[in-house]
Structures are given as C-alpha cells and as structure tokens.
Amino acid sequence: MRVLLAMLERGFDRIFGAANNPLHHLGALAFLFFWIVLASGIYLYLFFETSTAGAFRSVEYLTHEQWYAGGVMRSLHRYASDAMVVAALLHLVREFVLDRFRGFRWFSWVTGVPLLWLIFISGVNGYWLVWDRLAQYVAVAASEWLDWLGIFGQPIARNFLDQAVVSDRFFTLLVFLHIGVPLFLLAFSWLHVSRISRPRTLPPRALVIGATFMLLTLALWKPALSQGPADLDTVPAAVALDWFLLGGLPLLDAWGPGALWALAGGLTLLLILLPWLAPRRRPPVAVVDPPNCNGCGLCFADCPYAAVTMQPHPLRSGHRVAIVDPDLCASCGICAGACPSSTPFRSASELVTGIDMPQLSIHALREKLRDALAREQGEGAVVVFGCDHAVDVRALAQPGVAAFSLLCTAQLPPSFVDYALRHGADGVLVTGCKAADCHYRLGNTWVEQRLAGARQPHLRTHAARARVRIAWAGPADGAALRRALADYRAALRASASEAAPGSARTRGGAAHG
C-alpha cells in the first residue's frame, strides 16, 4: 500500500509540485469543499420554500429560471459535497497507510470518524429538501433504516406513507436539520484539528483556484437537475443516485436494515478502535531541563502538536519554563532544534540543553558530528542531516559524506550547520519529508525558515547559509536524493577549484535542491 501510495504521490509531485500536491492537502481540500458547500447553501436558502409543493418549485426555479446563479450554486452545492466525501475518505486512507492514526495521533483519528457520519447525514438530509423522485426514494429508504432501531415512538416512515401525509412543517424541520447538522460538522472539524497547532484548513492558493475552477466548470458542463416532483402514491422504477453520499442505501434492499446497521456500526467501531488494536511502542517524550531553560518560548512556538506550554520558572523568579504534556508530545524533537541552548559551540563537555530528546540527545548528536568531522574533511566533504521518516540518509554515508538521521529534520539546531562548516565540512545537505508532507506537519517548514534566517534560531552567518543545500525527498526518493548529493558535491568541488586556495568555503554552491 505504501509503495503504491508513494508511486502515486511521486506522479502528482511531478505534475503539481510537492508543495501543491493535492494528496498532501486532502484534509485542507475537504475544508475548502465545505466552505464552498456552505457559501452555495446560504444562497440556495435565500430562495428555498419550506413547504411540500414549494420545495420542489423553488429548486426548479433556481435551476432553470435562474440557472446562471441559482443553478450554478445548486450544482456547486452538490459537487462540492461529493468532492468533500472523496477528499475526506482519501484523507482517512492516506493517514492510515502512512501510519498516522495511532499513538499521539489517536485523538485526531477518532474525532475524524464522526465527521464521516455528519457528512453522510447532511447529504441524505440535503437530498430530501429537493423533494423530487430521488428525495422520495431517499426519504423512504433512510426512514425505514432508522426505524429498524426501534428508538422512535412512531415509525418515521409514517411521514412518507403517501402524498396526503407529508406536511409543510416537516420541511421546516428538514431545513432546521440541514443547518444544524453542518454546524455540528464544523464544530467537530474544529475538534478534529484542536490538538495540533497551526492546522492547515485551506490548501495552497493554486489548489484553491484549481479546485474551485474545476467545480465551476463541472457545474456549467453538467448542471445538477431534479428528477421530477415527488409522488409518494407511486414508486419510481429507478433513480439517478449520488453514489458518494447515498451509495449505502441500495444495500437496504439487498441486505436489509439490520445488516446495513451491522456494517455501518461495525466499520465505525473498527475505525474508532483502530489506534488501540495495533498500539505502537511509545517513544520517549521531550524532557525539559529547567536550569538550562531560559523561558524564551521558541519550543512552544515550534511544537506542531501544542505539547509545550510555558509556566512560571521553578528556579528563577519572574521567568518562565517550558512544560511538556507527555500525552500530546509526538517525540519529534522539533523543540530541541528550536532551543537556543542546543548549540554545539558551548564548551561544556556534557552538553545539556533546555529541552531534549532522551533517545537522541543534542549532546549525543554533537559527539557523533565531532567524530564524523574528524574523519571527513576537505573538498567535497559533506554532512547530511535527514530524518527517520524520509529517505534513510544513513545509506548515503561514504568517504567524504557523513550522514545523520534525526527524529525530524527540524530537530537540527541551525548552529550545528555552522559548527560542521567551521570544523571541516565543505557543505551541509539538509533533507527530510517533502514539502507540505512533513511526518510531523511543520518540520520542513521550520527548517527552511531557520536556515533562511526567517525564524529563530537561525544560521548565524550568510557565509554558512551559502554553503547549505536543501533537498526534500520522500521515502521513495532515494535515487533522486543520491543524485542531488552527487550534484552538490560536484558543485562544491567545481567551486573550490575555481576559487583561490583557501577561499572555497565562502563560495560554495548554495541553492534549494
């Protein structure tokens, strides 16, 4: 599954670029489609008549008399709803395949499950409002499905026995539901992203434009139409079904309501329990050392999961100290990379930083870097910093190349780049997950900003900045990364040979790979 996904994503990377790859923004795309549904729904509501005869009539008016506005809005409403279903389901599958559903991520996963139900309920409820032949089928099928539960005083299906019993007040209730349920959907969406900081709820501008234009074109090319007024005194032979939102209803005829409840309930339960069915060994979480924490708040600002908070310092009056919530900590080490105390230039033999990862401490990283720099020096000598969730950079190690795999690339304090360049490395190659697809959400963004001097802590010198190359590469991009490394080393050698002796390290290749 992962290989297939990697191949698919590589194809999309080529077409859209990694930063605009729609597969990297499925959750944000679902949000975008929701906003389109909401905006178009508000317009439709202005003209909708909440009565048995008026419902169909008003939708027909919007579709035909006002096709240039109301008709387009109706089509956008439908197609954006369908696209939201697709985006949400793909988002679920991708997170599962990439093993992003358990451990510290359980909350986001579990709160995502009710969203699927709320989308389904909103969709079914919305199709009732049109009150055409499809609405008639949906109303009868859905109410019979609900009645099987036996929790209602009287069967809901009684409301759809025949034309005579359908009341105008029932449409008022349906409209109320069609506003209320999407509001719940919005509230749960907020809950879904509440445990992460800086959630991406809008895709990049290029995708917003592309997706909106696509839906608009589809709306004009194939306008959403009604299927004749509902007539409960007869049963239509066939209906044109929206399989995205209503695809489960035909199973009622094939299996019966009990079996469909068993399937839907079983799947829901399975999805909810999934994070605990295959629990992952919990890696050590970040540890704060109060004597070395000056309360600067950089770790608090960079934590992608809001696991760090700032509290009054226990040792220094008037100062703050970082506190890590172990339940929220993703063990990514981004906080250690943000800590200004994480500098290898400190003279202490035992380098203790303000916030650190027990499994790969800043001290251990400095010792490894020192050992490597003692071996690899001179023209074309490159230190590679990568992460455990992208290409395994340890396979790149060779004469002249020292490679370090970090918990996340953003665990790298920029001062380590300065340190490597000052102690013998000719260049530093930084790699990790692809743009907009960091395993820990924000790691590669923070690294780019830190190395560009746009985010604290940043590289201290422009000279060092000129000798760093960034080459993001997903887990399946090993060959591309090897080529990038070879090109970089060749550029470093060429630069050194063109320059006067001793000046090579101030003129090395410096680009975004």
Partner 1 sequence: MVEILRYAGQALAYALFAAGIGYFSTSPAHVVRREGDAVVKLAVTHAGRLAQPCRARSPEELARLAPNMRTPLDCPRERSPVEIRLELDGEPLYSAQVPPAGLARDGVSSVYRRFTVPHGVHRVRAALKDHLDLAEFNFTTDAEVTLAPGDVLVIDFQPAHGGFVLR
Range in contact with partner 1 (rule: CB under 8 A) among 39-47, 107-115, 237-245, 471-479: 237-245
Q: Quick one: 258 or 279, whose CB is closer to partner 1?
A: 258
Annotate 408-427 with three-state secondary structure: CHHHCCHHHHHHHHHCCCCE
Q: Report, in Å, the least distance between residue 158 CB and partner 1.
A: 5
Q: Quick one: 242 or 418, whose CB is closer to partner 1?
A: 242
90 contacts partner 1 (rule: CB under 8 A) = no
Contact with partner 1 (CB under 8 A): which of 98, 179, 193, 241? 241
Q: Quick one: 227 or 506, whose CB is closer to partner 1?
A: 227
220 contacts partner 1 (rule: CB under 8 A) = no
Q: Which two tokens stand for residue 256?
A: 């019966």
Contact with partner 1 (CB under 8 A): which of 4, 68, 154, 205? 154
Alpha carbons 461 and 456: distance in angstroms, whole number: 13
- Residue 13-52 contact track with partner 1, rule CB under 8 A, x = bound: -xxxx----x------------------------------
Contact with partner 1 (CB under 8 A): which of 68, 221, 348, 350? 221
255 contacts partner 1 (rule: CB under 8 A) = no
DSSP string, 102-138: SGGGHHHHHHHHHHHHHHHHHHHHHHHHH-BHHHHHH
- Residue 160-179 contact track with partner 1, rule CB under 8 A, x = bound: -xx-x---------------
Intra-chain end-to-end CA distance of the chain, in Å: 28
Closest CA to 445 of 29, 437, 15: 437
Q: Quick one: 157 or 264, whose CB is closer to partner 1?
A: 157
86 contacts partner 1 (rule: CB under 8 A) = yes
- Residues that contact partner 1, how many (by CB under 8 A): 49
Question: Quick check: 338 and 286 in contact, CB under 8 A?
Answer: no
Distances (CA, A) of 384 to 40, 277, 374, 419: 50, 37, 15, 13
217 contacts partner 1 (rule: CB under 8 A) = yes
Q: Report, in Å, the least distance between residue 189 CB and partner 1.
A: 21
Q: Report, in Å, the least distance between residue 486 CB and partner 1.
A: 22
DSSP-based three-state secondary structure for 241: coil
Question: Quick check: 38 and 163 in contact, CB under 8 A?
Answer: no
Contact with partner 1 (CB under 8 A): which of 3, 53, 93, 235? 235
Distances (CA, A) of 121 to 137, 171, 179, 476: 15, 16, 11, 39
Q: Quick one: 28 or 428, whose CB is closer to partner 1?
A: 28
- Whose tokens are 């089928």? That residue is 137
Q: Which two tokens stand for residue 475?
A: 């887990």
Q: Please, what is the Cα angle at 337 between 336 and 340, to 5 degrees?
A: 85
DSSP-based three-state secondary structure for 164: helix
Q: Which residues bind partner 1 (CB under 8 A)?
A: 12, 14-17, 22, 78-79, 82-83, 86, 137, 140, 144, 147, 153-155, 157-158, 161-162, 164, 210-211, 213-215, 217-218, 221-222, 224, 232-244, 249-250, 253
